[in-house]
Structure 1
Amino acid sequence: MARSKYDLIVIGSGPAGESAAINAAKHGKRVALISDRERVGGNCTHLGTIPSKALRHYVRQVMQFRSNPLLREFANLNKPSFPEIMRHADRVIDEQVYLRGNYYEKNDVEVIQGHAEFQDAHTIKLGKKGPILHADYFIIATGSRPYRPENVDFTHPRLFDSDKILTLDHSPKKVTVIGAGVIGCEYASIFGGLGCKVELINPAESLLSFLDWEISDALSYHLKDIGVRSRHNEEYEKIEYRDDSVITHLKSGKKIKSEIILWANGRAGNSDGMGLDKLGIEPNKRGQLHVNERYQTSVENIFAAGDIIGWPSLASASYDQGRAASNAIFSPEEFVAIDRVASGIYTIPEISTLGKTEQELTAEKIPYEVGKAFFSNTARGQITGELVGMLKIIFHFETLEILGIHCFGDQASEIVHIGQAIMEQDGQANTMKYFLNTTFNYPTMAEAYRIAALDGLNRVF
């Protein structure tokens, strides 16, 4: 039986909601968490990060088998279908749900299933016949969903978004991906890795233009290598449905025939149906909420964190934002703003970056130099056969301060955190010389930092 009054009610059980609720409970507060699913974990666990990254991992394993002369024959005899690979991903989802449920139980966070609608700034109601709950504070962490424009028929069996694609019941031969953002590029590489022909529709001049130019170029090259054709400076106009195929019409007049379409053109915040208009909280056109530097909305006792507030829309950042929002309420002295986040992009191969790009530093007229280590030149890469990839460190020409870390290849999202730890240090601790004065295990991928440091410092000394 739910209590009726709490210190904090968190709405949403994804990464931001989980960390916010458990952090408040650890500060001795009475906390309830509202989940609109029967099982906790939010969209991150059930539809987003966990299933897509698990799917990517298994596809990548298939690709490794095919490229290995010792295993290639076995891989060809046992070619898994998309649904078969997805069933392996489902196992990870179940394990994550079990763990998340245990966290709430151990920290005495009450989990209540239902859709929350605000009655006033201190009161919510769960559904039409559900209980009415009161709290001193609220944290909205309802996440996001794929953006669905009204002129696109998402009920059609040949049209998918990143949620619906998880229900795909066969392995298509040709896929058109509309939208070349992070999600579009990730799924393009997944389908390419499965042997599908992929058409990637990109309205920009290059893929993921926020990346350092060398990383973007590397991604384009390797996507092409697995059967992904990137169509730059192209925009969707309309979709024509046929019995055996679907035709994408582009504004340039081109037509693309494929078996299915994956719509990957942005995300929208899950803010509708919550009664926010009663409080004077107005979401933007994508359903996202505006917050101040302490994750506080325009209503004093209501905070928000995670994908619902937009940038950077990463599960890792959402965890930290949820904890920060909770600290802003109950432990202000522990509050730390989340302002520098390492991005992880799980294409095949994966990408991770932190800090400035060459383009940004050039525009700012900051003198810099670059150190690089190619994975093909590392002993660990040669042993494992993971020869694709590069670590790139950008540093100040005079002070040697590390300004940016950009990694492409196997374990990129792991490798970047070594550099992140050094970038967060003060003064002389944050320079390229750290990597020369530190002994790295050999052979490891981490050794790439020493190689890149030697390469870069040779350019300035």
Structure 2
Amino acid sequence: MASRRGARLSGGGMDKFDLIVIGSGPAGRRAAVQAAKLGRSVLVVEGRRRVGGVSVHTGTIPSKTLRETALNLSGWRERGFYGHSYRVKQDIGGEDLNIRLAKTLEHEVTVLEHQFHRNKIRTMVGAGRFVGPHEICVRRTDGSDVVVRAERILICVGTVPHHPDNVPFDGVSVVDSDAMVEVPRVPRSLCVIGAGVIGIEYATIFSALDVPVTVIEPRETILDFVDREIIDEFIHDLRDRGMSIRLGVGVEKVERGPDGWVTTTLADGRTVRTEMLLHAAGRSGATADLGLEHCGLATDSRGRITVDPKTFQTAVPHIYAAGDVIGFPSLASTSMEQGRIAACHAFGLPLPPAPQYFPYGIYAVPEISTVGLNEQELKSRGIAYEVGIARFRETSRGHIMGLHSGMMKMLFSLKTRRLLGVHILGEGATELIHIGQAVLNLKGTLDYFIENTFNFPTLAEAYKIAALDAWNRMPK
């Protein structure tokens, strides 16, 4: 067994480990640390020059950092008091976005490298591919190959943006979500194809910077896993501030003109001309070069790997997969837990049953967060329920912050009074949701919110306001 010294591999030969993790994103890092804490020898193979995966370098952390930078520099949070023309910095450019982004990413990578070192996890930079059921060949940056072996292997390679043939990507005027943060800039206008989580987040971030934004989505609805009342309110908010949202229409072609501007022609004949186009319609598992045929695995049409949802084992028992490469929900938070569960199962550590509900967070402007069942699901299941609504402007904290929008929706069982779901739109939604998450998983009822005291003034008061709203209509 290889020694766990915390150093990078330096030579050839067949090094052997208890676990090889391919990819160091949220799932990979959590799995590696968990296995190391169980006393196992662990090697993490990472294709980028530094650890962190998609989450740190082009996904979760960069996009959320851009969001925070945009909100701070634009003065977005203060416009409720000072008007829509208020700005902290008048001319915001790509350099302004990049300064904070670089500092944040450096911190994230440094923390992760230290965590690996502290837990004596070895790392190797290079592209890994299977050459046998237990063997991984790593093509290092100097072009040399090293073959390593492990009793168990975890695939956490994440995803790559989908590139349709009719979109002329150039990394400048026509970009995908990865290129959006590699060299960030503020265009004079932006067209976003795809109204999924990624597309909506970037569309609203640049809208907060007062960039004219057009969103194009071939489906008639967006974010279908979120409560429809929340989405209706969200779309109204976006249109109210001038964003153009075109639903139910596909893209016929995308052309880049000699001036660098992009013309997007829709299936209905309309055109959208913008300085930049972001294509955010789908991602595929980064599995094309993994050599899965050498270990007996296959993927679906989008490069995703099928796993047992309880253990994250693939069809080959000693090989596991976790994170975005296995598909929905593709959240950093759930990916971390998937990696931990996979490592525990791989080495025989018993696990308690997973909580029934976990929260979703969409870091748009405004934020959306949800946990539990939504109203559509309750109706389809025939569950008798009551709704409680609170507007953030009804709270003293909301007035202090100058909030004119934002709402919390709570769903309760008429039969048992149990909380069934919480859905929040507005400032701090992704933080506030955890109160509802705790009560939901502990099978709490409406009475918890009625009988307990919340700090005043806080946005969390909305829980009591919404609960009282539901209580007023429930049978006594």
Q: Same fold (TM over 0.5)?
A: yes
Do the aligned residues in 2 keep the contact of 1:196 with 1:227 (CA within 8 Å)? no
Aligned to 1:438: 452
Aligned to 2:274: 258
- Alpha-carbon shift at residue 392 of structure 1 (Å): 0.7
Aligned to 2:119: 107
Aligned to 1:398: 415
The alignment partner of 2:186 has SS state of coil
**1:25 alignment partner, one of 18, 36, 50:** 36
Do the aligned residues in 2 keep the contact of 1:117 with 1:125 (CA within 8 Å)? yes
Do the aligned residues in 2 keep the contact of 1:66 with 1:76 (CA within 8 Å)? no
- Alpha-carbon shift at residue 73 of structure 1 (Å): 8.3
For 1:126, give the aligned amino acid.
V
> In structure 2, what is the Cα distance between the partners aligned to 1:422 and 1:71?
38
Do the aligned residues in 2 keep the contact of 1:303 with 1:325 (CA within 8 Å)? yes
Do the aligned residues in 1 keep the contact of 2:58 with 2:182 (CA within 8 Å)? no
Question: What are the residue-to-residue correspondences of 1:194-233 with 2, within 5 Å?
Answer: 194-233=209-248
Aligned to 2:441: 424
> In structure 1, what is the Cα distance between the partners aligned to 2:352 and 2:282?
30
- Give TM-score, length-normalised by structure 2: 0.92
Do the aligned residues in 1 keep the contact of 2:285 with 2:324 (CA within 8 Å)? yes
Q: Mark the CA change 1:439 to 1:318 in structure 2 (over 3 Å): closer, same or farther.
A: same
For 1:348, give the aligned amino acid.
V
Matched, 1:316 2:327: no
- Alpha-carbon shift at residue 362 of structure 1 (Å): 1.2
Unmatched runs of 5 consecutive residues or more in structure 2: 1-7
> In structure 2, what is the Cα distance between the partners aligned to 1:122 and 1:230?
49
For 1:83, give the aligned amino acid.
E
Aligned to 2:429: 412
Matched, 1:12 2:23: yes
Matched, 1:449 2:463: yes
Matched, 1:271 2:282: no
Aligned to 1:125: 137
> In structure 1, what is the Cα distance between the partners aligned to 2:88 and 2:232?
31
> In structure 1, what is the Cα distance between the partners aligned to 2:184 and 2:328?
33
> In structure 2, what is the Cα distance between the partners aligned to 1:72 and 1:179?
27
The alignment partner of 2:113 has SS state of helix
Q: Summarize deviations over 1:276-335 as a string: whole Å, max 9, x none.
A: 012221111111100013100111100000001001000010111000111111134126
Q: Which moved more, 1:18-27 or 1:143-152?
A: 143-152
Question: What are the residue-to-residue correspondences of 1:44-443 with 2, within 5 Å?
Answer: 44-61=55-72, 62-64=74-76, 67=79, 75=87, 78-127=90-139, 129-155=144-170, 157-168=172-183, 170-244=185-259, 245-293=261-309, 294-334=311-351, 336-337=353-354, 340-426=357-443, 430-443=444-457
Q: Mark the CA change 1:202 to 1:286 in structure 2 (over 3 Å): closer, same or farther.
A: same
> In structure 2, what is the Cα distance between the partners aligned to 1:369 and 1:73?
40
Aligned to 2:3: none
> In structure 2, what is the Cα distance between the partners aligned to 1:351 and 1:172?
25
> In structure 2, what is the Cα distance between the partners aligned to 1:311 and 1:339?
16
> In structure 1, what is the Cα distance between the partners aligned to 2:369 and 2:362?
6
> In structure 2, what is the Cα distance between the partners aligned to 1:317 and 1:282?
23
Do the aligned residues in 2 keep the contact of 1:176 with 1:261 (CA within 8 Å)? yes
For 2:99, give the aligned amino acid.
R
Q: Mark the CA change 1:222 to 1:40 in structure 2 (over 3 Å): closer, same or farther.
A: same
For 1:413, give the aligned amino acid.
T
The alignment partner of 1:115 has SS state of strand
The alignment partner of 1:91 has SS state of helix
Do the aligned residues in 2 keep the contact of 1:146 with 1:161 (CA within 8 Å)? yes
- Alpha-carbon shift at residue 6 of structure 1 (Å): 0.6
> In structure 2, what is the Cα distance between the partners aligned to 1:65 and 1:156?
31
The alignment partner of 2:19 has SS state of strand
> In structure 2, what is the Cα distance between the partners aligned to 1:398 and 1:147?
46
How many residue pairs align between the two structures?
458
- Alpha-carbon shift at residue 71 of structure 1 (Å): 9.6
Q: Mark the CA change 1:104 to 1:227 in structure 2 (over 3 Å): closer, same or farther.
A: same
Q: Mark the CA change 1:170 to 1:109 in structure 2 (over 3 Å): closer, same or farther.
A: closer
- Alpha-carbon shift at residue 391 of structure 1 (Å): 0.9
Do the aligned residues in 2 keep the contact of 1:356 with 1:403 (CA within 8 Å)? yes
> In structure 1, what is the Cα distance between the partners aligned to 2:255 and 2:368?
34
> In structure 2, what is the Cα distance between the partners aligned to 1:185 and 1:202?
10
Aligned to 2:5: none
For 1:308, give the aligned amino acid.
V
- Alpha-carbon shift at residue 75 of structure 1 (Å): 2.7
> In structure 1, what is the Cα distance between the partners aligned to 2:107 and 2:349?
34
Q: Summarize deviations over 1:355-394 as a string: whole Å, max 9, x none.
A: 1111121122211110111110111111122342111101
- Alpha-carbon shift at residue 459 of structure 1 (Å): 0.7
The alignment partner of 2:108 has SS state of helix
Unmatched runs of 5 consecutive residues or more in structure 1: none
Aligned to 1:42: 53
- Alpha-carbon shift at residue 68 of structure 1 (Å): 5.9
The alignment partner of 2:131 has SS state of strand
For 2:460, give the aligned amino acid.
A
Do the aligned residues in 1 keep the contact of 2:406 with 2:427 (CA within 8 Å)? yes
Q: Mark the CA change 1:342 to 1:265 in structure 2 (over 3 Å): closer, same or farther.
A: same
- Alpha-carbon shift at residue 93 of structure 1 (Å): 0.8
- Give TM-score, length-normalised by structure 1: 0.95
Do the aligned residues in 1 keep the contact of 2:432 with 2:460 (CA within 8 Å)? yes
> In structure 2, what is the Cα distance between the partners aligned to 1:209 and 1:71?
33
Q: Matched residues, percent identical?
A: 40
